[in-house]
Copies of this chain bind each other. A is one copy, B any other.
Amino acid sequence: MTMPTPEASAAAAARIDVLEGPEAIAAIVGRVAEHGGRIRTVATIRQLATDPPQSELEIEVDGLTADELLDALDDLPDIQAIRRTRALGSIFGKRVIVVGGGAQVAQVALGAVSEADRHNLRGERISVDTIPLIGEANIAAAVRAVADLPRARLLVLAGSIMGGDISNAADELRAVGIPIIALNMVGSITEHVDLVVSDPVQAGTMAVMAIADTATFDLIRQRGRRY
């Protein structure tokens, strides 16, 4: 039912300094819609210590060129400054997310970064994003939140024992179309993922291969296997 969102390299993007207030973003989004653009992202990236208060937004829009986007926003009163940027998908690309215990996360990252290097050399854009966490509730919440991360394509669960609500969260994440590779470990999680790999460096490598267009690794054909 789900498919990856295109990598956004064609989206027009800008960084905007805007006066704080509930109406400012609504005015920007409304103006983009009037001009036939489709908002892909509006994100508050930081607040400025100005008087009156301003914040910086990052905006990405489909269906308008960069010039058309700047024209559309030209005379909005709350906008203090605007500059062209590049859509984040064209810079940071597809994301492998690694969650779990620090020792294993670091080893998975080693494999994944090394493999991403090889594919990015050939023109891909693959990022490896990690967070070390402890505890069933924290890890389960992070697994669920991967579904809300832009450009997340695959999750690696790197630890020594996981189960319970983490396994429920894994089922939910796979249901929205994001596959999971887990290290071989204690607990029920290994029954709720697409692939189980014992060596963390190889797990990271396979994770990148699974989402790289320049690799021939097909995770669907490996589903349920253990290495």
Asked whether, in the complex, the Cβ of A92 is within 8 Å of the Cβ of B145, the reply is: yes
Asked whether, in the complex, the Cβ of A5 is within 8 Å of the Cβ of B141, the reply is: no
Q: Name the residue of chain B whose CB is nearest to the CB of A47.
A: B5
Inter-chain contacts of A26 with B (CB < 8 A): 26, 29-30, 32-33, 39
Contacts A106-B113, A109-B110, A109-B113; is A46 near B3 (CB within 8 Å)?
A: yes
Asked whether, in the complex, the Cβ of B47 is within 8 Å of the Cβ of A145, the reply is: no
When chains A and B are docked, how far (Å) is the Cα of A144 from the Cα of B105?
Answer: 27
Task: Give the number of chain A interface residues (Cβ < 8 Å).
Answer: 77
Inter-chain contacts of A55 with B (CB < 8 A): 5
When chains A and B are docked, how far (Å) is the Cα of A22 from the Cα of B30?
Answer: 9
Inter-chain contacts of A21 with B (CB < 8 A): 38
Closest CB in chain B relative to A104 CB, distance in Å: 10
Contacts A37-B22, A109-B106, A141-B91; is A45 near B150 (CB within 8 Å)?
A: yes
Which A20-35 residues have a C-beta within 8 angstroms of B? 20-23, 25-26, 29-30, 32-33
Inter-chain contacts of A63 with B (CB < 8 A): 22
Digit string of A37-77 for contact with B (CB within 8 Å is 1, else 0)?
A: 11111111111111000011010000100000000000000
* A118-126, A187-195, A219-227: which lies at the interface: A118-126
Counting every copy of the chain, the complex holds 2
Asked whether, in the complex, the Cβ of A46 is within 8 Å of the Cβ of B130, the reply is: no
A85 interface residue per 8 A CB criterion: yes
Which residues in A have some Cβ–Cβ distance to B below 8 Å?
1-5, 13, 15, 20-23, 25-26, 29-30, 32-33, 36-50, 55-56, 58, 63, 85-86, 88, 91-93, 101-103, 105-106, 109-110, 113-114, 116-118, 120-121, 125-134, 141-142, 144-145, 147-150, 152, 176-177
Which 5 pairs show the lowest CB-CB distances between chains A and B?
A102-B117, A117-B132, A129-B129, A26-B33, A58-B148
